[in-house]
Amino acid sequence: MDRLARGAVRRLPRAQWPTGQPPHLARTGRQPGRRWLLQRRLSHHRQCLDPSARHLVGLGSQLEIRGSRDEALALYEVAIDRDPEYAEAHYRAASWHMWTDARRTEAGLRRTLELDDGHAMAWSALGFLLGQREAWKRAGSCLTRAIRLGSAGALPHVYRGHHAWHRGRLRKAEAAYREGMQADPGNPHPLFALGDLFRHEARSAEARQAYEAALLLDPECGDAALRLGYLHDEEGRPREAAALLRRGLTLAPEHPWDAEVRERLRELEELGGSGLAAT
């Protein structure tokens, strides 16, 4: 394991040691014995000292959620070296490059699918990538495959909606977003995508409802906070806009809109004076 990957493992908070009870004790209410807990803890330590590819990918995912993207990628790459046949490691590494290196992303996704033809998230991501190139037929085939596999949740529906919108088929886009809401009711992505469509059509009240519903569903959704902030800005509510834009940046510190949002915040603070800056 290289130095960056070892540092990534050390920086993670210690995984919670299992304090739950083994099945035969859970029914009786008795506490597990010290020997059982010690065996579980030793197993955990062995995994940290010599982690499997699966464990490395899990640690990388945790780091990526916390914003340590470079260290996460290091772990994904170590996982691939450790087990070149582990499809999930290739998928995670490919997804890491999604916004910076389309060629590398596509190669990683295709390798994922060579190893696991039933990887719905890889089909979904490949469909999105092909749509970015306006290869609509191939993109549609990938998204249809992802939807049929079922385990990709809302995302292939959302990407299908994006592609329909890009081609001017707004009602098909709306239908696709609503299908995404049905496919994964706990995912805020189709809600704020629907809000974007309503905002595009100057249906501000419906857009606000969609963004607020997305934030209610997931208060940690930076995308929804940023979009609702921009909507408040457009409707002449600078104080509410600034608060939501700051919230969005806090929740999504590496958002692609980061520079644009910070610039708008500076403008709002200049317009509103020190009172707005302190909000």
Q: How far apart are CA 24 and CA 35, in angstroms?
A: 15
Q: Which residues contact 1 (CB under 8 A, 6 or more apart)?
A: 9, 51, 78
Mention every residue, 6+ apart, whose C-beta is less than 8 A from residue 93: 73, 76, 77, 80, 108
What predicted TM-score, i.e. pTM, was given to this entire model?
Answer: 0.77
pLDDT in tens, 97-109: 998 899 999 999 9
What is d(CA 233, CA 263) in angstroms, rounded to the nearest whole number?
Answer: 13
pLDDT at 116: 97
Higher pLDDT pick, 173 / 2: 173
- pLDDT tens per residue, range 19-29: 444 444 444 44
Q: At what angle do helices 120-132 and 102-115 cross, to 10 degrees?
A: 150
pLDDT for 49 equals 53
* pLDDT band with cut points at 50, 70 and 90 for residue 278: very low
pLDDT given for residue 27 in this prediction: 43
Judged by average pLDDT, the poorest of 50-59, 80-89, 195-204 is 50-59
Per-residue pLDDT tens digits for 1-17: 555 555 554 444 444 33
